[in-house]
Amino acid sequence: MSHYFPTVTKPIAYEGAQSTNPLSFKWYDKDRIVLGKRMEEQLRFAVCYWHSFCWNGQDPFGGDTFQRPWQHMADPMAAAKAKADVAFEFFAKLGAPYYCFHDRDIAPEGATPRDSVSNFREMVDVLGNKQAQTGMKLLWGTANLFSHRRFMSGAATNPNPEIFALGALQVKEAMDATLKLGGANYVLWGGREGYETLLNTRIGHELDQMGRFLNMVVEYKHKIGFKGTILLEPKPREPSKHQYDFDSATVYGFLCRYGLEKEIKVNIEANHATLAGHSFEHEIATAVDLGIFGSIDMNRGDMQCAWDTDQFPNSIPETALAMYTIMQGGGFVNGGVNFDAKVRRQSIDPEDMFHGHIGGMDVTARALLIAEKMINDGKLAKLVSDRYAGWNAAFGKDVLDGKLSLEAVAAHVTERNTDTMPVSGRQEHLENLLNSYI
């Protein structure tokens, strides 16, 4: 099991755009300096444990297609350890510096809460040893509060406080594990923190529950001395009909209501953005401008499907605009680029996992280089700045600074007594400019 990828005999290396070797990077040159940092430091790539090593290829209409051997072992803990061997073999050969996990990805549920805690702590020690041996780092940890049937009505928003408490136990243990493993962030994703029907739901009560849950998380972060960032991951629906963390703007309003806007940031997933009816860069720009941007889950959805397909990114223009928005906002601090993506259920060879990640890393690296051109050139930024130039003049500043009342602004117009003609937004010119960098 420790040699699950026999066709990949050496670590994936950068060979340049001219290379015809499918097991090489064409654009991801980790030591290349981009915008003042090594590419590896700018992007902070991470591999997700769940899609890469836990998913077996099933979908709503069919079962296991991958036939991963550790998924068919009788002893759950032996399977967890075998899975960890495979994961760290993959990490070492791929060369991504980080990984991410849910608690139930790395350790099986036990017969009782105490058994589950024991299983998890044992596997955290296993991962800690593997990190020490390989130099691999943890971008973030999280708890799975959506798969078990007890969470069918949510965890933090569950109508039963005892199930709320079971969720709190998992989060506490996952936060302890993240601290112990040197994680840079801790993520909360409430896949079932929403509702299916209003006939049995008290929205206000559930929001208060969720607000209290997150305040408890923040309190515990400070108690244990965790210096990383707490991240909330927005998603509009699926599996719930409506989820309370619908998008970045909704999350910001929620955080402000419960006094958490200075404590929690967002982890934005591309496929979640499109499910909310937004673009990826919209969600990133919203979070940056609201001061809550933290990290991203890089993937893409199938626009012909109304659910989360978690495919590897392959659109250079879309990814370039996302990277430009991130870099214009100052880049990542504790966050990074986690590939919340999975190979298709027909891609059954172990080597296919490398092709998916290599492609995603190359697309993102190329997008970063395009973003660098856009920032260094400055044309796009200047055109946008020119469009808002009036707000930097005396009148515009006085309006925004609150120095003028509604009456004063109205009087300004009548005193000038001049109709102001609109100026073209030049969208087509800007689109052509963007394409010129690609």
- Does residue 73 sit in helix, strand or coil? coil
With a CB cutoff of 8 Å and minimum separation 6, the contacts of 7 are 350, 351
For residue 337, give Cα distances in angstroms to 294, 317, 422, 437: 10, 17, 40, 22
Rounded to 5 degrees, φ, ψ at 98 are -130, 165
Identify whether the C-beta of residue 175 lies closer than 8 Å to the C-beta of residue 222: no
Listed residue (114, 197, 191) closest to 148, CA to CA: 191
Pairwise CA distance, residues 107 & 81, whole Å: 9
What residue type is assigned to position 244 of the chain?
Y
CA dist 172 → 111, 294, 376 (Å): 19, 21, 44
Is 124 within 8 Å of 162 (Cβ atoms)?
no
Question: How many angstroms separate the CA atoms of 90 and 3, rounded?
Answer: 9
CA distance linking residue 386 with residue 302, whole number of Å? 36
Amino acid at 381: A
Distance CA 285, CA 186 (A): 22
Whole-number Å distance between alpha carbons of 42 and 28 = 11
For residues 116 and 103, give the distance between their C-alpha atoms in angstroms, rounded to a whole number: 10
Two structure tokens written together for 259: 């006094």
Q: From the candidates 105, 247, 297, 362, which is the catalytic residue?
A: 105
Residues 49, 102 contacting (CB under 8 angstroms):
yes
| CB-CB contact of 48 with 79 (8 Å) | no
Active-site annotation holder among 102, 278, 282, 357: 102
* 102 a catalytic residue: yes
- For residue 119 the two structure tokens come to 């299983």
Q: Please, what is the angle between helix 113-134 and helix 76-94, to 10°?
A: 30
* Spatial CB neighbours of 11, under 8 Å, sequence gap ≥ 6: 92, 93, 94, 95
Count CA atoms within 13 Å of residue 173 on its CB side. 27
Contact 364, 358 (CB under 8 A): no
Q: Known catalytic residue: 105?
A: yes
Catalytic positions, written as ranges: 102, 105
